[in-house]
Amino acid sequence: MESIQEDELSPFDLAMGAANKLDPPADFDGPVKQRRITDPLCLIFLLATWGITSWIGVWTLQNGNYDTLVHPVDYKGRICGVDKGSNGQVLPSYWHPVDVLSSGVCVDECPTASMFEPTSKSELICKDVEDLLTMDGCALSATVVATDLSILVTCGGCMFQTESKSLNDYCNPASVSSLIDKVNGIAVDQGKEALEGWNKFEYSSYIQRLVRDLRTSFPIIGGAGFGGAVFFGFIFLLMARCPKCIAPITWTSAALLPAVLGGAGTLLFFLANEYKLDQSGMHSNFKATSVLILAYIAWSFAGIMLFSVVILRKKISRAISITKAGTRAISEVTFVPLFPILQTIAYAVMIGSIAFWFLMLAASRSATEEVATVYGFEISYYSQTYTVLAHYM
């Protein structure tokens, strides 16, 4: 390693004794003579964890169905765009609500306009005819479906076509409240009580929505997020080889953190206002209030971080001086800039495989038929029951 000249050191470095050299003896080969495992119990736990995780991973690959996480499922538990219908053909890809229990049917496309005054059954979104014939109130006889369109809606066999926007193959109604009011209105006209508490459609489970959100935002997360972290890590290590770059990098980072938190709080604030003004019924007051609270939390952290930077500015300056001395060691290691890339590959293999296993674990479930009474009619629907390793327990 090249010797460091005193004129290359800052006054602070000289005051801290950076000019004093340590010359180890020629036969010095390191402080540790005998190396051994110091935590055998932790090693056993680590190996056991790897073994159990791998076993779960193999089990989920054999029993999980990833399609249930990324595709809609209809009222019979069939996967839209994947499974076949009673006619032997693959079901359409899009999902439209078909009853007040948030069950749905697979449709060819999402309606571009609402049709709340249909004149025939073909203008409704309905379940299969063979199912309508067996549903309470939906059939006149064993072979004839009810002709009263309002009865077909309240018995849970059909639903009005509703103006929708496609999101992850789901037809999301432009206004849920108008649809609810219409269905409750015809139920009241039939002498039935309006359904209380029906204020939104729960299309899918939280894990399904999470996976679909990740699938939709993957270009942002994988590109700008993960890829950007690797890229800037690589650039930082290149710049860290230059002592003069340390101070600008450090102070820029210190200023960016409160700025980013403040910007995030502002975006959340405007998003909360947008949720409050939205009349579609898709966003509850609780959701808007939660987003607003997150905005205030982000602003609070931004203020704390900015205050901390101001208070700790002298210590940050000292840390910069110490880091400048450390950059000389970094500059001597040729392959240091490759570390972010190598770490990325290692994390992708380890974290990626475990994440995929747990996604498959979430997909290892079966559809269970349940029955609920709505508007005086019994409606059967399928709920996803998790049977994760149940037969092994």
DSSP state letter for 190: T
Q: Under a CB-based contact definition with an 8 Å cutoff, are residues 129 and 140 in contact?
A: no
CA atoms within 13 A on the CB side of 99: 27
| pLDDT attached to residue 126 | 92
| pLDDT attached to residue 319 | 84
Q: Under a CB-based contact definition with an 8 Å cutoff, are residues 241 and 331 in contact?
A: yes
Give pLDDT < 70 ranges for the chain: 1-10, 12-13, 16-25, 28-35, 197-224, 279-282, 328-334, 336-337, 365-367, 383-393
Element (H, E) at 323: helix 313-332
Q: Give the per-residue SS3 of 371-390.
A: EEEECCEEEEEEEEEECCCH
| pLDDT attached to residue 55 | 84
* Phi, psi dihedrals of residue 383, rounded to the nearest 5°: -115, 150
| pLDDT attached to residue 10 | 67
Domain ranges for the chain, please list them.
94-204+364-392, 219-351
